[in-house]
């Protein structure tokens, strides 16, 4: 099937291996829907191409393409060679009954399976698989996962796998319970707190990553999460330039490691996880590339710090996670420097087609101005001859923007305004967000000035109080600055760090009602495209920088692709959520056309919380681990009362409540979620299960449920309980009639 434009981009289930993909056909400039799975790889611009519709050149990631079929075969054979703990985790992660609404995406399972296979799989099956080094003394493996595909969850799975195996067998040197996580900035560092098993909102509990009974063992881990700035050290050159008397020289590697690792200072054989790992690349001694000096400094501190820790304490392995793992070089071909140690790949193409992220719509409508090859001048605005030179120079913020940029903002802004009005009409309490990714700070300032002074005639979008101008360099410099005092616009005295923290709080909470960034509707960014920042309310993107590859497009649009809903439709696929884009040449990636209704608001959420007036209907139940009277009670939120049977005081459907009965079926401990809990008029509780047909597994469940009820009743502290099963709606009235003798 070939199309000029794709009408429906989502064609794969998020929970299954991709079975088809959209292929861009270079010769015909059409999209073809092909069976099977897309090869791992990426697209770069055709050499010397200056066209607006460059189809690009596909570059395969051969190592991943060699590993994928071996993983698939290993999975089909039941994961031979793994430890008992690893097998238990793999079974737990893939048990659909156990997972309920916490199913993992296929890409998440494939990523962790790949790391496990490389560590525990039979050596004979790895023949011919060689993972290149980065030039250092410790090994690195990289999982390439698109923004929005859930790499933080994979990190949590990775930590659980390593720690639980090490606790079970302290002599197994393949594993570590000492984990160092490095983030590219405080924004990402804050988000990674979910990897701390002691955190209230940790992912291990939230996503049911660890089987019942193993969470305490997981908490034997030592996990520290650091910002890359923490790895900085004083060189001899810096010390010589200091104007202080204290010039004691550089610290030894041992002393440096103690300072950086803190509570983990005595650890050995450390597992390192690099998030947004495209910041962590090894700079060659002779490389001082023009235009990327700041990137080189960060990379040097990041990787150099790990080198020092490895010398002092030993790094077991460094595991990298990034959507775009390549080292910048400041050249047009920089994307060709993709990390050669990538072992798994689920790119943005795959994520779009599985609906894991928003569907990009390339908006190309304009005022009729076209290039000589009849391509819209808004397709890649930065490359327009009237734009590129103008925004690549130092300029005062008061200097007007090129007409093409002003017109583009007006068109995209009108689209944004239509979206905003639609959201308001539906009672949505936060606005849609337009983000701009500019090429330099001067351009960013000119854009903000143009909006602040209503040079772009959309008054609703010109509210300066609802605009954020972000330069990640400014944030970093302020964070590292001394406690110098600045005066804010209200005359309040703040240190630069305090000012940076206020801005960061706004950045981190864009789109969250009641938070500092909740009413932000326009973000003008320079460096945040690689900071790991995103917001689920982004609906419009303006790209004003060079795009020479699929990877650069991914970095920019990834800031606006976070979904708001993960509800699967009747067809097993996610419903599309849209983001409209100007200026990003999406020839490299499958996309839908720009015409159509405005991006809809996030679906309404039903807030479930206790209501004081309904306190009489409160339900509690014991959570039984074993029938030897190990138990505790869990408070259930009140329940939207429905039926009025004379014996029913109140009832609740066991949906997202956590009421579970453990049972053993065919030697595997599983979780059973009964359908309903009913509070009877006589004060007793009825557990009601509904079944259309019976099976041996269902009979086993009921046997354990019966044992559960007897154990609770014998204990006596939670009132009287009974259970029943309804096989047909017609028998429900009789069950309720008989519930009170």
Burial (Cβ within 10 Å: 0-12, 13-18, ≥19) of residue 191: middle
Residues 366 and 422 in one domain: yes
Residues 683 and 616 in one domain: yes
**Beta 668-672 vs 661-665: how paired, if at all?**
antiparallel
Q: Which two tokens stand for residue 185?
A: 């900035």
**Beta 30-35 vs 620-622: how paired, if at all?**
unpaired
Beta bridge partners of 43: 58
- Find where tokens 């993983």 sit: 71
Specify the range with the lowest mean pLDDT, choosing from 33-47, 157-171, 322-336, 670-684: 322-336
Residues 323 and 401 in one domain: no
Which of 358, 385, 419, 355 lies closest to 18, judged by CA? 355
Residue ending a domain, among 346, 372, 390, is 346
Mean pLDDT within 432-460: 92
Residue ending a domain, among 346, 380, 402, is 346
Residues 448 and 476 in one domain: yes
Residue ending a domain, among 561, 593, 625, is 593
Quick check: is 321 in a domain?
Answer: yes
Residues 226 and 365 in one domain: no
CA angle, 583 then 147 then 515, to 5°: 90
Residues 225 and 314 in one domain: yes
Cα–Cα dist 550/144, whole Å: 14
Domain interval for residue 716 = 612-738
Residues 511 and 626 in one domain: no
Cα–Cα dist 685/88, whole Å: 34
pLDDT at site 641: 31
Residues 530 and 391 in one domain: yes
Residues 320 and 463 in one domain: no
Provide the number of structural domains found in the chain.
3
pLDDT at site 548: 66
Which of 537, 472, 532, 481 lies closest to 503, judged by CA? 472
DSSP per residue, 640-666: ------TTEEEEEE-SSS---EEEEET
| pLDDT band (50, 70, 90) for residue 240 | low
Instruction: Give yes or no for residue 333 having a pLDDT over 50.
Output: no
Quick check: is 254 in a domain?
Answer: yes
The domain that holds 125 is classified in CATH as: 3.40.50
- Residues 363/578, Cβ–Cβ less than 8 Å: no
Beta bridge partners of 177: none
- Residues 614/644, Cβ–Cβ less than 8 Å: no
φ, ψ of residue 615 to 5 degrees: the values are -60, -30
Quick check: is 41 in a domain?
Answer: no
Quick check: is 601 in a domain?
Answer: no
pLDDT at site 405: 92
Specify the range with the lowest mean pLDDT, choosing from 181-195, 243-257, 343-357: 243-257
Q: Which two tokens stand for residue 61?
A: 């990631």
pTM of the model: 0.77
Q: Which two tokens stand for residue 561?
A: 């692709």
Q: 438: part of which helix (H) or strand (E)?
A: strand 433-438
Quick check: is 658 in a domain?
Answer: yes
Beta-carbon contacts of residue 709 (< 8 Å; ≥ 6 apart):
687, 721, 722, 723
Residues 448 and 544 in one domain: yes
Quick check: is 402 in a domain?
Answer: yes
pLDDT at site 480: 54
Q: How far is CA 157 from CA 18, 101, 113, 150, 205, in A?
A: 22, 17, 10, 11, 11
Quick check: is 732 in a domain?
Answer: yes
Three-state DSSP class for residue 485 = strand
Mean pLDDT within 192-203: 92
Instruction: Give yes or no for residue 575 having a pLDDT over 80.
Output: yes
Return the percentage of the chain with pLDDT > 90, whole number.
Answer: 41
- Residues 167/181, Cβ–Cβ less than 8 Å: no
Residues 569 and 628 in one domain: no
Residues 423 and 392 in one domain: yes
pLDDT at site 332: 40
Quick check: is 244 in a domain?
Answer: no
């Amino acid at each position: 099937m070939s199309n000029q434009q794709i009408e429906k981009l989502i064609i794969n289930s998020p929970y299954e291996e991709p079975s088809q993909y959209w292929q861009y056909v270079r010769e015909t400039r059409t999209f073809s829907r092909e069976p099977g799975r897309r090869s791992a790889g990426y697209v770069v611009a055709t050499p010397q191409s200056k066209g607006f519709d460059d189809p690009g050149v596909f570059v395969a990631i051969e190592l991943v393409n060699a590993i994928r079929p071996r993983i698939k075969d290993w999975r089909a054979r039941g994961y031979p060679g793994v430890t008992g703990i690893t097998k238990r985790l793999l079974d737990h992660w893939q048990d659909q009954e156990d997972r309920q609404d916490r199913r993992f995406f296929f890409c998440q399972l494939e990523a962790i399976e790949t790391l496990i296979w490389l560590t525990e799989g039979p050596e004979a099956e790895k023949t011919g698989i060689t993972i290149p080094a980065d030039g250092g003394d410790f090994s690195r493996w990289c999982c390439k996962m698109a923004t929005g595909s859930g790499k933080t969850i994979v990190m949590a799975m990775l930590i659980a796998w390593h720690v639980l195996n090490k606790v079970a067998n302290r002599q197994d040197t393949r594993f570590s319970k000492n984990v160092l996580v490095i983030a590219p900035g405080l924004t990402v560092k804050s988000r990674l707190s979910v990897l701390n098993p002691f955190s209230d909102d940790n992912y291990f509990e939230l996503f049911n990553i660890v089987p019942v009974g193993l969470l305490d063992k997981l908490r034997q881990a030592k996990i520290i999460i650091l910002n890359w700035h923490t790895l900085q050290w004083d060189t001899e050159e810096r010390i010589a330039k200091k104007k202080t008397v204290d010039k004691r020289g550089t610290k030894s590697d041992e002393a440096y490691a103690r300072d950086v690792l803190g509570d983990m200072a005595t650890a050995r054989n450390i597992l390192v996880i690099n998030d947004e790992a495209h910041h962590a690349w090894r700079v060659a001694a002779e490389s001082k590339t023009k235009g990327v000096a700041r990137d080189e400094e960060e990379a040097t501190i990041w990787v150099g710090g790990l080198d020092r820790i490895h010398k002092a304490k030993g790094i077991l392995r460094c595991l990298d996670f990034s959507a775009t793992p390549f080292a910048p070089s400041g050249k047009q071909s920089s994307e060709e420097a993709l990390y050669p140690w990538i072992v798994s790949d689920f790119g943005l193409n795959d994520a779009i087609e599985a609906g894991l992220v928003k569907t990009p719509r390339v908006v190309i409508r304009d005022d009729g101005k076209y290039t000589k090859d009849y391509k819209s001048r808004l397709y890649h605005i930065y490359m327009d001859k009237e734009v590129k030179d103008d925004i690549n120079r130092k300029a005062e913020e008061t200097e007007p923007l090129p007409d093409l940029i002003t017109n583009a903002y007006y068109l995209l802004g009108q689209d944004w305004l239509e979206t905003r009005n639609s959201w308001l009409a539906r009672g949505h309490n936060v606005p849609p967000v337009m983000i701009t990714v500019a090429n330099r700070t001067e351009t960013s300032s000119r854009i903000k000035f143009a909006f602040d002074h209503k040079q772009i005639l959309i008054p609703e979008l010109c509210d300066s109080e609802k605009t954020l101008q972000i330069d990640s360099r400014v944030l970093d410099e302020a964070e590292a600055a001394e406690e110098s005092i600045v005066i804010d616009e209200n005359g309040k005295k703040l240190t630069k760090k305090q000012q940076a923290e206020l801005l960061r709080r706004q950045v981190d909470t864009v789109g969250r009602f009641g938070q500092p960034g909740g009413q932000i509707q326009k973000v003008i960014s320079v460096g945040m495209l690689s900071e790991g920042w995103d917001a689920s309310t982004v609906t419009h993107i303006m790209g004003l920088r060079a795009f020479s590859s699929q990877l650069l497009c991914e970095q920019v649009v990834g800031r606006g692709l976070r979904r708001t809903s993960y509800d699967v439709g009747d067809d097993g696929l996610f419903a599309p959520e849209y983001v409209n884009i100007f200026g990003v040449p999406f020839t490299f990636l499958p996309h839908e056309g720009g015409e159509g209704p405005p991006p809809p608001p996030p679906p309404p959420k039903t807030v479930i919380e206790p209501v004081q007036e309904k306190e009489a209907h409160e339900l509690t139940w014991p959570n039984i681990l074993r029938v030897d009277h190990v138990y505790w009670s869990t408070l259930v939120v009140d329940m939207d009362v429905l039926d009025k049977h004379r014996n029913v005081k109140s009832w609740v459907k066991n949906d997202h409540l956590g009421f579970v009965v453990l049972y053993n079926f065919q030697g595997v401990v599983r979780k059973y979620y009964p359908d309903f809990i009913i509070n009877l008029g006589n004060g007793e509780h009825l557990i009601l299960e509904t079944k259309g047909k019976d099976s041996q597994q269902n009979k086993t469940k009921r046997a354990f449920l019966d044992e559960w009820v007897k154990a609770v009743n014998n204990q006596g502290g939670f009132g009287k309980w009974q259970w029943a099963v309804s096989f047909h709606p017609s028998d429900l009235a009789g069950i309720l009639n008989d519930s009170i003798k």
